[in-house]
Chain A
Amino acid sequence: MTPAIELVDVHKDFGGTPIIRGVSLAIEAGTRQALIGPNGAGKSTLFNLITGKHAVSRGRIRLKGEDITGLRPYAINRRGLSRSFQVTNIFPWLSVLENVRCSVLWALGYRYSFWQRVERARDVQERADAVLEQLNLTARRHVPAGVLSYAEQRALEIGITIAGGADVILLDEPTSGMSRSETEQVVQLIREVTAGKTLVMVEHDMSVVFDLADRIAVLVYGEVIAHDTPERIRASAAVQEAYLGVPQTTG
């Protein structure tokens, strides 16, 4: 079966400093996977390469078998890949509803239309309402996104990512900065909205990682040192040594 995402010997350096040093990785379609590793290992950089925010220095990236190396973020998004950001990245002056509506327009085929009204587009309305319901933000729909609470903004961040219906979802630290109960809610939300889809997430909270992931890739200094099931990752001596050395984080 064609992998959802396939990296072939991907390199990236910034100003001569190698950050990603030859990553080859295949993410099977329909699985939930976590990308873990110590700070500065290059996890977010790898996301930025896959989603087209940065260009690779060397290597190829394929999405569902198609080469997407060097494509712009919007072109990659149109092929069915969507991402969230570590630092909340929403449309702060638009209402919560507008944020979600803007994220479904392209996917529903409205493109650069200047002859249709958004509020009369029933499919946009229905999709946006359904997403707001999932995010538990229906009551806050007319509030400017910039004044939502932090946890609500993080939920909206995920909502914007999944609203377009992409089947490959990349989430960058979706639970960062959240309390335990907020984290549990987000994990539940992620489980719901990624059902039947491919999920790759960067996550520091090991309980979340072991709770959600079917497979875990471990990135250390720009190289994938292991890519396996949670049990084997937990048992791996190499991973223990490089990263999971601190026992309590394995929770």
Chain B
Amino acid sequence: MSAPAPATTRHVEVAATASWTHRLRRLGVWLAAGALLLALPHVVRNPVAVPVMNQMGIAVVFALSYNMLLGQGGMLSFGHAVYFGLGGFIAAHVLNLAGPGGLYLPVPVLPLVGGLGGLLFAALFGSFSTRRAGTVFAMISLGVGELIAASSLIFDGFFGGEEGVTTNRTRAPLLLGLEFTTDRQVYYLIAGWALVAAALMYSFSRTPVGRMANAVRDNAERAEFVGYSARWVRFVSFCAAGFFAGVAGGLFAINYEILTAENLGLNASGAVLLMTYIGGIGYFVGPILGAVVFTFLQSMLSDYTGIWLLYLGIMFLATVLFVPAGLAGLIAMHLPAWRAGRLRTLAAPYALTALVALVTAAGVIGLLELVHFVVSTSPSRTTMRLFWMTVPARTLAPWLGFAAAAAAGALGVRWAAPRAAAAFAAASRPPGAP
């Protein structure tokens, strides 16, 4: 979608007034979110849905914590999984100490242990990395990430070597008789923690130090001239982000009962950056959307294709190039049209653009899958399944066909997208304007 995003809608925090209606409405949003989370496992009947939703919940907390750095604090981190992973490892070890005759530590409080672990290491590494923002911060975060990844190969006792650290949530003492044997029971634990963590992170963004994190992001120099040390503001944000990343790590330890070095490596740090950015770093709900969509695609795509990571990469590129405000930004920029009651005028031009875009995507995907098939299977196999078809991959016809679809679709997009953009502009005009 190439509708123009007004640059100024990014990052703009519309100040909320403290009026009662406002507060009630906000409370309503949280209550609705809670009700939705309670109802979800009853609505979605697919048996594989619950594990995927658990994964989503963990990703939501992790991505929200990441956006405390990137979106709200202007700190681009390439090593945020360090705090997720270390929090998770600590939670796993503590869970292994719990049990009959051991530590009294029921499963529901374990994410707090992970959070404290994340906080501890965030305070340690944040003490020097938050001195500067920008490139320096990004480089240090990369360095710390590499350092911890390398340490995971050295300190076998803590990181468990290649097998990682396994644990067992059913050995922990029960709190109020709550058992966590099935995925569904764990779902409610994750949903509860995700809701509380999201509410706390939202609250953080409205506190003095949370507002100043935005100010330091915008203009660190000016923040220092109104009395705030930019470094301290970044440090407090960094610690909070580390804490909530650790909470997510603790939830991961409960859900999967295993942590490996992969969980704190560069790939995991990259994934949280991708999902947060795709969702939209300028909006509080952005990382939530991003985590849900990213996890969904990750779990669905990996069932269908071996090159799903490539598609996620393409999606990230497309976001950066065409929708830098992310999914949340895409929704937010349609609010004026929605308020003016003109959303319906967009349906036809958008549908047309989506159709030609789908044709392009199908062509590109077909070509990529053909390449993948040809280079990764033995020459004796000549046919592959692709889009509900059996395709003779080693003949010219399918290649030409998909290339034609990609080219035709691209031409179609060039024709349709400006029309969709024009329709968007017309629909977004304030009522009464010519």
Q: How far is the CA of A89 from the CA of B222 in the complex (A)?
A: 6
Q: A119 to chain B: which residues have CB within 8 Å?
A: 15-18, 206
Q: A114-B204, A114-B207, A125-B18 are in contact. Are A77 and B11 (CB under 8 A)?
A: no
Residues of B within 8 A of A (CB): 8, 10-18, 203-204, 206-212, 214-215, 217-219, 221-229, 232-233, 236, 240
Q: A114 to chain B: which residues have CB within 8 Å?
A: 204, 207-210, 236, 240
Nearest first, the 4 closest Cβ-Cβ pairs linking A and B are A106-B227, A93-B11, A110-B208, A91-B218
B3 vs chain A, min Cβ distance (A)? 20
Are A141 and B15 interface neighbours, CB within 8 A?
A: yes
A68 vs chain B, min Cβ distance (A)? 14
The segment from A6-14, A97-105, A183-191, A194-202 found at the interface with B is A97-105
Contact of A98 among B10, B13, B17 (CB under 8 A): B13
Are A92 and B236 interface neighbours, CB within 8 A?
A: no
Are A118 and B224 interface neighbours, CB within 8 A?
A: no
19 contacts between A and B (CB under 8 A): A73-B225, A77-B226, A93-B12, A93-B217, A94-B218, A95-B13, A98-B13, A102-B215, A111-B208, A114-B204, A114-B209, A114-B240, A118-B206, A119-B15, A119-B206, A120-B18, A141-B15, A142-B14, A142-B15
Q: A110 to chain B: which residues have CB within 8 Å?
A: 208
Are B226 and A160 interface neighbours, CB within 8 A?
A: yes
Q: How far is the CA of A110 from the CA of B18 in the complex (A)?
A: 18
Are A78 and B227 interface neighbours, CB within 8 A?
A: yes
Q: A115-B207, A119-B16 are in contact. Are A102 and B11 (CB under 8 A)?
A: no
Interface magnitude class on chain A = 35 or more
Are B209 and A94 interface neighbours, CB within 8 A?
A: no
Are B13 and A116 interface neighbours, CB within 8 A?
A: no
B20 vs chain A, min Cβ distance (A)? 12
Interface: A140 (CB within 8 A): no
Extra 4 A-B pairs, beta carbons < 8 Å, given A91-B219, A101-B211, A146-B8: A74-B228, A98-B211, A113-B209, A119-B206
Q: A89 to chain B: which residues have CB within 8 Å?
A: 219, 221-222, 225
B261 vs chain A, min Cβ distance (A)? 32
Instruction: Give the interface SS of chain B, mostly helix, strand, loop or mixed.
Output: helix
Q: A142 to chain B: which residues have CB within 8 Å?
A: 14-15
A67 vs chain B, min Cβ distance (A)? 19
A172 vs chain B, min Cβ distance (A)? 11
Q: B13 to chain A: which residues have CB within 8 Å?
A: 93-95, 98
Q: B207 to chain A: which residues have CB within 8 Å?
A: 113-118
Residues of A within 8 A of B (CB): 51, 53, 72-74, 77-78, 82-83, 85, 89-95, 97-98, 101-103, 105-107, 110-121, 125, 141-142, 144, 146-147, 160, 163-164
The chain B residue sitting closest to A109, CB to CB, is: B208
Q: How far is the CA of A85 from the CA of B226 in the complex (A)?
A: 12
Are B206 and A91 interface neighbours, CB within 8 A?
A: no
Are A112 and B232 interface neighbours, CB within 8 A?
A: yes
Are B214 and A74 interface neighbours, CB within 8 A?
A: no
Contact of B227 among A95, A107, A144 (CB under 8 A): A107
Contact of B222 among A90, A93, A144 (CB under 8 A): A90
Q: How far is the CA of A117 from the CA of B206 in the complex (A)?
A: 6
User: Which of A73, A83, A103, A110 has the most chain B CB atoms inside 10 A of its CB?
Assistant: A73
Q: How far is the CA of A164 from the CA of B227 in the complex (A)?
A: 9
B72 vs chain A, min Cβ distance (A)? 11
Q: A163 to chain B: which residues have CB within 8 Å?
A: 226
Q: B228 to chain A: which residues have CB within 8 Å?
A: 74, 105-106
Are B15 and A90 interface neighbours, CB within 8 A?
A: no
Q: How far is the CA of A182 from the CA of B255 in the complex (A)?
A: 63
Q: How far is the CA of A2 from the CA of B214 in the complex (A)?
A: 38
Are A164 and B208 interface neighbours, CB within 8 A?
A: no
Q: B11 to chain A: which residues have CB within 8 Å?
A: 93
Are B18 and A74 interface neighbours, CB within 8 A?
A: no
Are A106 and B226 interface neighbours, CB within 8 A?
A: yes
Q: B240 to chain A: which residues have CB within 8 Å?
A: 114
B426 vs chain A, min Cβ distance (A)? 22
Q: B18 to chain A: which residues have CB within 8 Å?
A: 119-120, 125
Are A51 and B225 interface neighbours, CB within 8 A?
A: yes
Q: How far is the CA of A163 from the CA of B232 in the complex (A)?
A: 22
User: Which of A78, A89, A91, A110 has the most chain B CB atoms inside 10 A of its CB?
Assistant: A91
Are B223 and A102 interface neighbours, CB within 8 A?
A: yes
Are B221 and A97 interface neighbours, CB within 8 A?
A: no
Q: How far is the CA of A78 from the CA of B10 in the complex (A)?
A: 32
The chain A residue sitting closest to B217, CB to CB, is: A93
Are B225 and A90 interface neighbours, CB within 8 A?
A: no
Contact of B211 among A90, A118, A144 (CB under 8 A): A118
Are B212 and A105 interface neighbours, CB within 8 A?
A: yes
Q: A95-B12, A95-B13 are in contact. Are A74 and B224 (CB under 8 A)?
A: yes
The chain B residue sitting closest to A111, CB to CB, is: B208
Are B224 and A72 interface neighbours, CB within 8 A?
A: yes
Are A95 and B233 interface neighbours, CB within 8 A?
A: no
Are A102 and B212 interface neighbours, CB within 8 A?
A: yes
The chain B residue sitting closest to A145, CB to CB, is: B218
B206 vs chain A, min Cβ distance (A)? 5
The chain A residue sitting closest to B227, CB to CB, is: A106
Are A97 and B15 interface neighbours, CB within 8 A?
A: yes
The chain B residue sitting closest to A104, CB to CB, is: B226
User: Which of B12, B207, B208, B212 has the most chain A CB atoms inside 10 A of its CB?
Assistant: B208
Are A95 and B14 interface neighbours, CB within 8 A?
A: yes
Contact of B219 among A90, A105, A144 (CB under 8 A): A90
Q: How far is the CA of A74 from the CA of B221 in the complex (A)?
A: 10
Q: A113-B209, A117-B203 are in contact. Are A91 and B224 (CB under 8 A)?
A: no
Are A144 and B16 interface neighbours, CB within 8 A?
A: no
Q: A106-B228, A112-B233 are in contact. Are A94 and B215 (CB under 8 A)?
A: yes
Q: A92 to chain B: which residues have CB within 8 Å?
A: 218-219
Q: B221 to chain A: which residues have CB within 8 Å?
A: 53, 73, 89
Are A144 and B12 interface neighbours, CB within 8 A?
A: yes
Are B15 and A98 interface neighbours, CB within 8 A?
A: yes
Q: B226 to chain A: which residues have CB within 8 Å?
A: 77, 82, 102-103, 105-106, 160, 163-164
A64 vs chain B, min Cβ distance (A)? 16
Q: How far is the CA of A195 from the CA of B215 in the complex (A)?
A: 28
Are A91 and B222 interface neighbours, CB within 8 A?
A: yes
